[in-house]
């Protein structure tokens, strides 16, 4: 047996004994089940990932990546307490035996973990995140899933009853071709597929690649869309997901990770939902709070960014003064939301759909929009350059010639009205950096599919001087 003990959590002092963390009796749960509670007065301490899952979690990395684990308890701790985390191959042996799997071990040398003390503070039920950074360095087989086995044990065994384990399943997709494409040696334009996920399975964007390089055609997949709503109890905005959006997020290993493994960024669409809260109606204080809510959603589901759309807000209610925290709609408020979201998670994409109060943007705290927005895409038929209304935005951050693959608009290159306004080669030559394909679908039963496929092939030639390869797959909506 190979075991490496690494202490990352500690009670204030062993000499404090049971009193250090005692809420009647403190136990660390083996699997979080009711049988671990041992009575109504027992306090159970357990370990979860960001989604609250116990015992098992997963992460897809591109060369390297970080997953956060949390120490939690069923009741608020009386005083500071904690536990140790151990790298323990016995945990993996037991897991493989119980599940009929044969996951290979992710060796400890590929793990980086902070040496600072991490505690569950008095009065709290959830501790700060323990970040575990995993480095594949291109040495992990992308066809395999590796396992990092961990065991968590309370520091003071006077109050310990059992222990808790976690198996972190890891895939490194850094050796896949990815989605970064070129044209004559220069970075190529980014293709953005926006999916109406009430009807379309996100896996459908994976089937399109460049024939010779194997690169993915689509660089980004936008899940359209989650909503902004007011919490009736707190009066604050929150991210609301309907059943379809939530099903995809809750089953990220099925619908999101396969895209990310191939280098496709998965972005959450976000817009208003018929109350006073929206992209352009929050006060500065509430905007900053909401940005943290957005970050939490992105953290939990390991998303790559946010796509903001200013629609369906009750602007009159926002301006009425009846709702503290909301105000008359404005470009400044919309700009601040983009700024706040980018400030909260600078490593993630901030994409603006150039419509209504997002048609233009202004500097926030002296920072120009081009510094806090990664991409701005035009509404359908809009031919003006987004750089003219987003100060500091570079040309390769702008997108025009947007498609709408629905049967009413015919807003695709097969339509002569589209080609009268836009040129695929012209957009590339002008230095535009992205193009949005809204309501993307290749459902074989849809009458426009043949036109969409033809136009995607022409786009591939114009943007990358390459031939499109489509594997012909069509994934149906298979969630309830």
Q: Where are the domains of the chain?
A: 3-172, 182-470
311 in active site: yes
Quote the pLDDT of residue 34: 33
> Looking at residue 19, what is its pLDDT?
28
Cα–Cα distance, 140 to 137 (Å, whole number) = 7
DSSP summary character for residue 14: G
Q: How many CA atoms lie within 13 A of 472 on its CB side?
A: 0
pTM of the predicted model, to two decimals?
0.77
Rounded Cα distance, 424 and 189, in Å: 11
Alpha carbons 268 and 471: distance in angstroms, whole number: 26
104 DSSP assignment: P
Active-site option among 196, 311, 368, 469: 311
Please report the pLDDT score of residue 54 as a whole number: 87
Superfamily of domain covering 3-172:
hypothetical protein (bacova_03559) (2.60.40.1740)
Contact between 446 and 172 under an 8 Å Cβ cutoff? The reply is no
What CATH number was assigned to the domain covering residues 182-470? 3.20.20.80
Per this entry, what is the length of the chain? 480
Give residue 391's pLDDT.
Answer: 98
Q: What angle do CA 52, 201, 457 make, to 5 degrees?
A: 135
Q: What is residue 23's predicted lDDT score, i.e. its pLDDT?
A: 38
**What's the pLDDT score for residue 67?**
92
Under DSSP, is residue 5 helix (H, G, I), strand (E, B) or coil? strand
Distance from C-alpha of 477 to C-alpha of 248, rounded to nearest angstrom: 10
Q: Name residue 28's beta-bridge partners.
A: 45
What's the pLDDT at 360?
A: 98
Residue 43: per-residue pLDDT: 65
Residues of the chain with pLDDT under 70: 1-43, 115-118, 156-163
Instruction: Describe the chain by its helix, strand, coil percentages, rounded to 5.
Output: 25, 30, 45
């Amino acid at each position: 047996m190979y075991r490496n003990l690494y202490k990352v959590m500690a009670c204030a002092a062993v000499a404090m004994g049971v009193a250090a963390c005692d809420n009647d009796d403190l136990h660390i749960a083996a699997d979080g089940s009711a049988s671990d509670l041992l009575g109504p007065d027992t306090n159970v301490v357990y370990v979860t990932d960001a989604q609250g899952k116990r015992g098992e979690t997963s992460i897809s990395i591109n060369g390297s990546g970080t997953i956060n684990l949390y120490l939690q308890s069923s009741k608020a701790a009386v005083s500071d307490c904690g536990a140790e985390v151990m790298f323990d191959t016995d945990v993996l042996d037991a897991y493989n035996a119980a599940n009929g799997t044969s996951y290979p071990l992710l060796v400890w040398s590929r793990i980086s973990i902070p040496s600072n003390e991490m505690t569950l503070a008095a009065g709290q039920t959830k501790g700060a995140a323990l970040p575990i950074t995993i480095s594949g360095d291109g040495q992990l087989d992308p066809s395999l899933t590796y396992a990092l086995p961990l065991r968590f044990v309370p520091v003071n065994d006077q109050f310990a009853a059992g222990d808790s384990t976690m198996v972190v399943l890891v895939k490194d997709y850094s050796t896949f071709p990815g989605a970064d494409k070129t044209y004559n040696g220069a970075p190529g334009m980014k293709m953005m597929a926006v999916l109406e996920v009430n009807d379309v399975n996100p896996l459908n964007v994976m089937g399109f690649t460049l024939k010779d390089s194997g690169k993915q055609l689509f660089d980004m997949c936008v899940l359209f869309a989650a909503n902004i709503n007011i919490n009736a109890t707190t009066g604050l905005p929150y991210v609301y997901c309907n059943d379809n959006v939530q099903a995809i997020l809750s089953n990220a290993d099925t619908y999101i990770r396969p895209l990310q493994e191939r280098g496709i960024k998965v972005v959450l669409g976000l817009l208003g939902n018929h109350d006073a809260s929206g992209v352009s109606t929050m006060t500065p204080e509430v905007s900053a709070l909401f940005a943290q809510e957005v970050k939490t959603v992105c953290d939990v589901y390991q998303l790559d960014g946010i796509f903001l759309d200013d629609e369906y807000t009750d602007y009159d209610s926002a301006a009425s003064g009846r709702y503290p925290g909301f105000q008359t709609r404005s470009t400044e408020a919309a700009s601040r939301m983009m700024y706040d979201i980018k400030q909260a998670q600078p490593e993630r994409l901030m994409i603006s759909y150039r419509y209504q109060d997002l048609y233009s943007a202004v500097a926030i705290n002296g920072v120009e929009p081009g510094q806090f927005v990664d991409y701005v895409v035009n509404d359908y038929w809009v031919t003006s350059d987004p750089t003219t209304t987003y100060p500091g935005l570079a040309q390769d951050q702008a997108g025009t010639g947007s498609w709408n693959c629905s049967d009413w608009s015919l807003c695709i290159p097969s339509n002569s009205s589209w080609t009268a306004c836009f040129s695929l080669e012209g957009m590339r030559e002008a230095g535009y950096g992205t193009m949005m394909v809204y309501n993307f679908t290749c459902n074989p039963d849809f009458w426009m599919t043949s036109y969409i496929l033809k136009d995607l092939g022409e786009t591939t030639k114009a943007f990358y001087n390459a031939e499109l390869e489509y594997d012909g797959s069509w994934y149906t909506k298979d969630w309830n």
